[in-house]
């Protein structure tokens, strides 16, 4: 069975959870069962927000091989990097660990 993007997100979250605080994010507009409009995080916000034990924020957008971030996602990643945060697109768990500066600590 082929891996889905959601499965990749949760694989990355599971591994990052070994090293710090990890959060799954949802961006954009949503509607409740009653039809009420709810605004989430800004369009383009990454799939994962991770905080290393030293407080460094990391923003990870997960994509399957061949996938590309949307223009909004690319702009968000660039903006977070301009603030000094670690941010990028990960196509597998090791790439997410590398973005967060954790690859050398991984047993993977």
Is residue 55 classed exposed, middle or buried when 0-12, 13-18 and 19+ CB atoms within 10 A define those classes? exposed
Q: What is the pLDDT of residues 61-92, one digit of tens each?
A: 999 999 999 999 999 999 999 999 999 999 99
Mean pLDDT over the full length of the chain: 91
14/58 Cα distance (integer angstroms): 15
User: Which value, in Å, is the radius of gyration of the alpha carbons in the chain?
Assistant: 14
105 band by pLDDT with thresholds 50, 70 and 90: low
108 within domain boundaries: no
Over residues 5-34, the mean pLDDT reads 90
CATH code for the domain in which residue 42 is found: 3.40.1350.10
Nearest to 19 by CA among 106, 89, 108: 106
Q: What is the pLDDT of residue 55?
A: 96
Q: How many domains does the chain have?
A: 1
Specify the pTM: 0.86
Question: Residue 75 is part of which domain span?
Answer: 5-103
């Amino acid at each position: 069975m082929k891996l889905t993007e959601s499965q990749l997100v949760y694989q990355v979250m599971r591994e990052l959870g070994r090293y710090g605080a990890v959060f799954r994010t949802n961006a954009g507009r949503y509607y409740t069962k009653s039809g009420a409009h709810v605004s989430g995080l800004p369009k383009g916000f990454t799939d994962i927000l991770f905080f290393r034990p030293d407080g460094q924020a990391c923003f990870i957008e997960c994509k399957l091989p061949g996938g590309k971030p949307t223009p909004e996602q690319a702009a968000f990643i660039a903006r977070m990097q301009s603030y000094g945060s670690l941010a990028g697109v990960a196509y597998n768990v090791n790439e997410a660990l590398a973005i967060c500066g954790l690859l050398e600590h991984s047993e993977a």
